[in-house]
Structure 1
Amino acid sequence: MTTWKNTEKLSEIPAQDQQWPGTEAALNPAADHGETTWVGRERLTGKKALITGGDSGIGRAVAIAFAKEGADVAITHLPDESKDAAEVKEAVEAAGRTCVVIEVDLRTEEACAHAVATAVDGLGGLDVVINNAAFQMAQPDFPDFPGDQIERTFATNVFATFWTTKAATPHLGEGSTVINTTSIQAYSPSEPLLDYAATKAALNNLTVNLASELGSRGIRVNAVAPGPIWTPLIPSTFDGEKVEGFGADTPLGRAGQPIEVASAFVYLASDEASYVSGTVLGVTGGKPVF
């Protein structure tokens, strides 16, 4: 039986904060991305995957798990996330796989097309698209909600998913797959994350619609809806006291590790999920996804 690193500490996360977008090195306790805990079983051998937001958190764990399962990966990251991205590249290459690192802000259609083209060129093709890049920032006072934030949140979370998938579709063939990262927030929204929660609900709808649209091409489209997962996004978007005890309100009594979410992406990208499309798979520690 696998025991993920530091899960016992995730039921008592101390108060802390970071400057956005946060770094993995500053997390207390450290998060587990599968560097030493994930055991590959050749479930993705030969596949080529683009993972947006692959420098930290869930995206980082997905990149490492995919590499250990035999996939080559391309990851995107923002300029402030270069150090974390370099660590992912090192981990992927240590697993014997190729890692293409793409510094890009995905808030325009041109940027998304560039990311896809760079991934296809660097990997020699594309089989899997993971739309994982996201922006969130808690805003406790609705009357003071900044107008530019809702534009940034929708551009990063929804528009970039649409544009990236659109650009990738001509490169995807029979058996390819698109996986979107949604959230428990789509089902049980928190008031301070009003805009973020709305984007995740939109992605659930987009996932189902894209599954219908692309099914005739043999392309499967699914989503993973994480619950409270311990990533730099949490201390960099909430006040320190709000971070304390993060995830303790789940039925399992703790936050989840990024690698515990990555397992869902591995399944959905693998041939084991060949008849799974248009579904949203919850990884929430027991919080309901319906």
Structure 2
Amino acid sequence: MTEPVSPQRFRDKVAVVTGAAQGIGLAVARRLVAESASVVLVDRSELVHEVAGELRENGGQAHGVIADLEQFAGAEAAMAEARQQHGRIDVLINNVGGTIWMRPYEHYDADKIQAEVQRSLFPTLWTCRAVLPYLIEQRSGTIVNVSSTATRGINRVPYAAAKGGVNALTASLAMETAQYGIRIAAAAPGGTEAPPRRIARGPDGATEREKAWNRQVVDQTEDSALMKRYGTPEEQAAAILFLASDEASYITGTVLPVAGGDLG
């Protein structure tokens, strides 16, 4: 379990983490549990139950929910289950998303463009809408959306557009909901090293041309970071948990780049 900054920082808080079966979402869930949150892990993979079980074995309070968050019905059902399990939702971390294909824009067909936006914008739109009635009723709550500094990058234009939408959603929804005591913020990760994915995000780049396009993204990402390296899931989780915590009580409508100096 991840070493906590403050073991009691999320005591008595209920946190929902989407895309929690692996990668940044898993790092966030582990750290929330380590800092005493009751965590609901949402993913469309059965793997989420295994992860929740491991967290419980380590003494954490964790519950897994399977849902397809690319559909509003899935988001609505997941938020309803979290509310039913715990009676409230204090924190929502919207982590679902990620580039499926990397290529110059002229090589995306219409289906790929739509799939990228469906993957990286709609889950956040849907879950924000699904959780909002609960937070308004409570007159409290925090949403942290996971964006990306790839909003200014190469070979991922549809993904960049989707994450730009996440940034706009964050700013606009923060303006609407501050009157209810709700905060909405976003973290924008840069390149992040992670263990090999247990669930493939999309088809592997099998051709030499596809491998070259992928390499261009890696090179540009490293070059754009002042620190000239990729981050770790734990470094991303640290920033996300700060924004989710009461330590960030005067922060809303803000996108925080977490990218080694790349502002996106």
| TM-score over 0.5 (shorter chain) | yes
2:170 corresponds to = 207
Deviation at 1:164, TM superposition (A): 1.0
1:189 corresponds to = 153
Asked whether 1:287 is paired with 2:258, we answer: no
Measure, in 1, the Cα distance between the counterparts of 2:54 and 2:133. 30
User: When the two structures are superposed, what TM-score results if normalisation uses the length of structure 2?
Assistant: 0.85
Secondary structure of 2:191 counterpart: coil
Measure, in 2, the Cα distance between the counterparts of 1:135 and 1:248. 18
- After superposition, the Cα gap between the structure-2 partners of 1:234 and 1:152, relative to the gap in structure 1 and judged at 3 Å, is closer
Deviations 1:108-131 (A, max 9, x none): 111110111112122332111111
Asked whether 1:49 is paired with 2:12, we answer: no
Asked whether 1:136 is paired with 2:111, we answer: no
Contact 1:181/1:223, CA 8 A, preserved across alignment: yes
1:158 corresponds to = 121
From 168, 174, 177, the equivalent of 2:139 is 174
Secondary structure of 1:195 counterpart: helix
Contact 1:112/1:163, CA 8 A, preserved across alignment: yes
What letter is aligned with 2:153?
P
Measure, in 2, the Cα distance between the counterparts of 1:288 and 1:157. 19
Higher normalized contact order (CA 8 Å, seq sep 6+, divided by chain length): 1
From 14, 29, 41, the equivalent of 1:63 is 29
1:110 corresponds to = 73
1:269 corresponds to = 244
Contact 1:54/1:75, CA 8 A, preserved across alignment: yes
1:222 corresponds to = 185
1:92 corresponds to = 55
Measure, in 2, the Cα distance between the counterparts of 1:165 and 1:237. 31
Deviations 1:18-74 (A, max 9, x none): xxxxxxxxxxxxxxxxx3444543111111111110111111111011111111111
Deviation at 1:236, TM superposition (A): 6.5
Deviations 1:160-208 (A, max 9, x none): 212211111121133310110110012x221x21100011111111100
- After superposition, the Cα gap between the structure-2 partners of 1:97 and 1:153, relative to the gap in structure 1 and judged at 3 Å, is same
> Structure 2: which 5+ runs fail to align?
none
What letter is aligned with 1:57?
G
What letter is aligned with 1:253?
K
Deviation at 1:101, TM superposition (A): 1.1
- After superposition, the Cα gap between the structure-2 partners of 1:94 and 1:166, relative to the gap in structure 1 and judged at 3 Å, is same
Give the CA RMSD over aligned residues.
2.4
Deviation at 1:95, TM superposition (A): 4.5
Secondary structure of 1:261 counterpart: helix
> Structure 1: which 5+ runs fail to align?
1-34
What letter is aligned with 1:156?
R
Contact 1:68/1:95, CA 8 A, preserved across alignment: no
Quote the sequence identity (%).
Answer: 32
Q: Which has the higher helix share?
A: 2
**Length, aligned pairs only:** 250
What letter is aligned with 1:179?
V
Measure, in 2, the Cα distance between the counterparts of 1:204 and 1:142. 21
- After superposition, the Cα gap between the structure-2 partners of 1:143 and 1:135, relative to the gap in structure 1 and judged at 3 Å, is same
Secondary structure of 1:208 counterpart: helix
Deviation at 1:275, TM superposition (A): 1.1
